[in-house]
């Protein structure tokens, strides 16, 4: 079992078991694949350069509910306004997220990990995105739904795909909580 993250003089440290690192690496890869924009050859190079989505057609609210949660509307109750904002910002948001997910995939290959503040932040963001996608696949819509999943805490509780996903979700939740606690502790010591 992974060791909880700790705040030390050498930064934030943590260690995953090889199987856990492989699993997490696959999950990070899945989220990257969800976020990678489908870039056509007709992409306007100037628009791409300034991080604007190329054409009107490719900036629609995502069909996949998990992607919609990763890239939510920035304006509520006004679809036109939300869409025009999405056209200006979505491409660069996707790229930022992919950047954090890719760096995290590299970080978790080392055991033990020793992370600086920026790396720890990227990893916390990436773990959060993984949890958002898993939660969507598990249809976690309310806090009661989330509570129910906590019961799946051990491999012996797993008897189908959903309970396996729940176990994975709980593991990533535990990992993120331990990382954030270590980061909060580190920031208290700095002040």
Strands 11-15 and 113-115: what pairing?
Answer: antiparallel
**Would you state the structure tokens that stand for residue 135, as one six-digit string?**
């939660």
Q: State the nearest-atom distance from the C-beta of 152 to other proteins, in Å.
A: 12
Report the run of H or E that residue 3 belongs to, with start and end.
strand 3-8
**Per CB under 8 A, which region of 20-28, 93-101, 108-116, 159-167 contacts other proteins?**
93-101
**Per CB under 8 A, which region of 17-25, 108-116, 158-166, 181-189 contacts other proteins?**
181-189
**Would you state the structure tokens that stand for residue 70, as one six-digit string?**
């990763």
* CB closer to other proteins out of 164 and 174: 174
What b/e string do you get for 3-35 counting C-beta neighbours within 10 Å, with b at 16 or more?
Answer: eebbbeeebbbbbbeeebbebbbebbebbbebb
Torsion of Cα atoms, 116 then 122 then 16 then 18, to 10°? -120
Q: State the nearest-atom distance from the C-beta of 90 to other proteins, in Å.
A: 9
Annotate each residue in 26-65 with x if it binds other proteins (CB under 8 A) or - if it does not, as one string: ----------------------------------------
Name the site residues for other proteins (rule: CB under 8 A).
4, 69-76, 85, 89, 92-93, 96-97, 100, 121, 124-125, 128-129, 131-132, 135, 140-143, 145-146, 150, 170, 173-174, 176-178, 180-181, 183-185, 187-188
């Amino acid at each position: 079992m992974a060791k909880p993250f700790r705040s030390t003089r050498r930064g934030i440290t943590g260690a995953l078991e090889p199987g856990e690192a492989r699993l997490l690496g696959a999950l990070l890869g899945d989220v990257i694949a969800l976020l990678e924009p489908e870039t056509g050859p007709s992409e306007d190079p100037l628009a791409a350069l300034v991080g604007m989505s190329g054409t009107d057609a490719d900036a629609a609210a995502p069909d996949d509910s998990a992607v919609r949660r990763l890239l939510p509307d920035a304006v509520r109750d006004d679809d036109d306004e939300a869409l025009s904002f999405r056209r200006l910002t979505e491409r660069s948001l996707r790229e930022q997220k992919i950047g954090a997910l890719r760096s995290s995939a590299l970080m978790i290959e080392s055991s033990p990990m020793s992370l600086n503040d920026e790396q720890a932040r990227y990893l916390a963001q990436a773990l959060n995105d993984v949890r958002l996608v898993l939660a969507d696949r598990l249809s976690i819509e309310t806090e009661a739904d989330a509570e129910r999943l906590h019961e799946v805490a051990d491999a012996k509780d797993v008897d189908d795909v959903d309970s396996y996903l729940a176990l994975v979700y709980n593991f990533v939740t535990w990992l993120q909580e331990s990382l954030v606690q270590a980061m909060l502790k580190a920031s208290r010591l700095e002040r």
